[in-house]
């Protein structure tokens, strides 16, 4: 079973949490100088079919060729590691990269969809987990 199963399960859990938050909580009221902005996290599993892993070099080429041109104003990348219990009881572990994009100017959705589509194509992935939210952000 591929690491993308982990992402599907995590995505489902995140979706339920986000939907619950959408129903019960309005966007945060920001206190100046903070402003309300869209924050998106993309979770990229690094396991690939055949037992290989997306290397650091491949990841950096992906950032240089795909992410940076679409988000020249900036982004953050975090290293992560996920874990999931399979139906047979075995534990699946997978290293990941988390891309955080903060967008105060408008909806970055088209660019994010392009990033996800290219990662899936380039590294033969079934899915990339996406989490969207609203946060108060200020630069001091």
Q: What CATH number did the domain enclosing 118 receive?
A: 3.30.70.120
Spatial neighbors of 31 by CB under 8 A, at least 6 apart, are: 136
* Number of domains comprising the chain: 1
- Find the domain containing 119 and state its range: 4-137
CA 10 centroid distance within chain: 11
Task: Report the greatest alpha carbon distance in the chain.
Answer: 51
Q: Residue 84: pLDDT band by 50, 70, 90 thresholds?
A: confident
Tens digits of residue pLDDT in 116-136: 999 999 999 988 999 999 999
Question: Does the structure show a pLDDT above 50 at 7?
Answer: no
Tens digits of residue pLDDT in 26-80: 767 899 899 888 999 999 999 988 889 999 999 999 999 999 999 999 999 999 9
Sheet (strand 35-45) strand order: 76-85, 91-103, 35-45, 129-137
Q: How far is CA 79 from CA 35, 46, 51, 97, 128, in A?
A: 27, 11, 20, 5, 15
Tens digits of residue pLDDT in 8-26: 444 444 444 444 444 556 7
pLDDT reported for residue 93: 87
Global pTM? Answer: 0.76
């Amino acid at each position: 079973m591929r690491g993308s199963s982990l992402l599907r399960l995590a995505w489902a859990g995140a979706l339920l949490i986000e939907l619950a938050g959408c129903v019960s909580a309005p966007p945060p009221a920001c206190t100046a100088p903070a402003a309300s902005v869209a924050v998106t996290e993309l979770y990229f599993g690094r396991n690939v079919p055949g037992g290989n892993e997306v290397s650091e070099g491949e990841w950096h080429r992906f950032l240089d060729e795909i992410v940076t041109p679409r988000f020249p104003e900036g982004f953050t990348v975090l290293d992560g590691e996920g874990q999931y219990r399979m139906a047979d009881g075995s534990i699946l572990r997978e290293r990941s990269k988390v891309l955080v994009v903060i967008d105060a100017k408008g909806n970055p959705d088209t660019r994010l969809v392009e990033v996800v589509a290219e990662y899936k194509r380039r590294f033969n992935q079934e899915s990339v987990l996406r989490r969207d939210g609203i946060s108060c952000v200020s630069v001091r």
